[in-house]
Chain A
Amino acid sequence: KEKHKILHQLLQNSTSPVDL
Chain B
Amino acid sequence: PEAADLRALARHLYEAYLKYFPLTKAKARAILSGKTGDSAPFVIHDMKSLMEGEQFINCRQMPIQEHQQQTSALTAAHGVELRFFHSCQSRSAEAVREVTEFAKSIPGFVDLDLNDQVTLLKYGVIEVLIIMMAPLMNKDGTLISYGQIFMTREFLKSLRKPFCQMMEPKFEFSVKFNTLELDDSDMALFLAVIILSGDRPGLLNVKPIEQLQETVLHSLELQLKLNHPDSLQLFAKLLQKMTDLRQIVTDHVHLIQLLKKTEVDMCLHPLLQEIMKDLY
What residues make up the interface of A, taking CB atoms closer than 8 Å to B?
Answer: 3-8, 10-12, 14, 17-18, 20
Within the assembled complex, what's the spacing in Å between the Cα atoms of A17 and B94?
A: 10
Are the CB atoms of A4 and B122 closer together than 8 Å? yes
B267 at the interface (CB under 8 A from A): no
Within the assembled complex, what's the spacing in Å between the Cα atoms of A6 and B121?
A: 12
15 sampled A-B residue pairs with Cβ under 8 A: A3-B277, A4-B274, A6-B274, A7-B100, A8-B114, A8-B118, A11-B110, A11-B114, A11-B118, A12-B114, A14-B104, A17-B97, A18-B97, A20-B90, A20-B269
Residues in B whose Cβ lies below 8 Å from that of A6: 270-271, 274
- B96 touches which of A8, A10, A12 (Cβ 8 Å): A10
- A11 touches which of B90, B93, B94, B100 (Cβ 8 Å): B100
Closest to A12 in B: B114
> Known: A6-B270, A6-B271, A20-B93. Contact between A11 and B117, CB under 8 A?
yes
Within the assembled complex, what's the spacing in Å between the Cα atoms of A3 and B118?
A: 10
What residues make up the interface of B, taking CB atoms closer than 8 Å to A?
Answer: 61, 90, 93-94, 96-97, 100, 104, 110, 114, 117-118, 121-122, 269-271, 274-275, 277
Closest to A1 in B: B115
Residues in A whose Cβ lies below 8 Å from that of B270: 6
Within the assembled complex, what's the spacing in Å between the Cα atoms of A10 and B265?
A: 28
Are the CB atoms of B97 and A20 closer together than 8 Å? yes
Beyond A3-B277, A11-B104, A11-B117: 5 further Cβ-contacts under 8 Å?
Answer: A7-B100, A7-B118, A7-B121, A10-B97, A20-B271
Instruction: Determine the main DSSP class of A at the interface with B.
Output: helix
Closest to B62 in A: A20
Residues in B whose Cβ lies below 8 Å from that of A3: 274, 277
- The A/B interface has a contact count, at CB < 8 Å, of 40
Q: Which 6 pairs from chain A and chain B are nearest by CB? A: A10-B100, A6-B271, A20-B93, A4-B118, A7-B118, A11-B117
Within the assembled complex, what's the spacing in Å between the Cα atoms of A16 and B275?
A: 21
Residues in B whose Cβ lies below 8 Å from that of A7: 100, 118, 121-122, 271, 274-275
Within the assembled complex, what's the spacing in Å between the Cα atoms of A4 and B96?
A: 13
> Nearest-CB distance from A17 to chain B (Å)?
6
Residues in A whose Cβ lies below 8 Å from that of B114: 8, 11-12
> Nearest-CB distance from B120 to chain A (Å)?
10
Closest to B92 in A: A20
> Known: A10-B97, A11-B100, A20-B61. Contact between A5 and B121, CB under 8 A?
no
Residues in B whose Cβ lies below 8 Å from that of A20: 61, 90, 93-94, 97, 269, 271
Residues in B whose Cβ lies below 8 Å from that of A12: 114
Within the assembled complex, what's the spacing in Å between the Cα atoms of A7 and B103?
A: 12
Within the assembled complex, what's the spacing in Å between the Cα atoms of A18 and B270?
A: 12
> Nearest-CB distance from B22 to chain A (Å)?
13
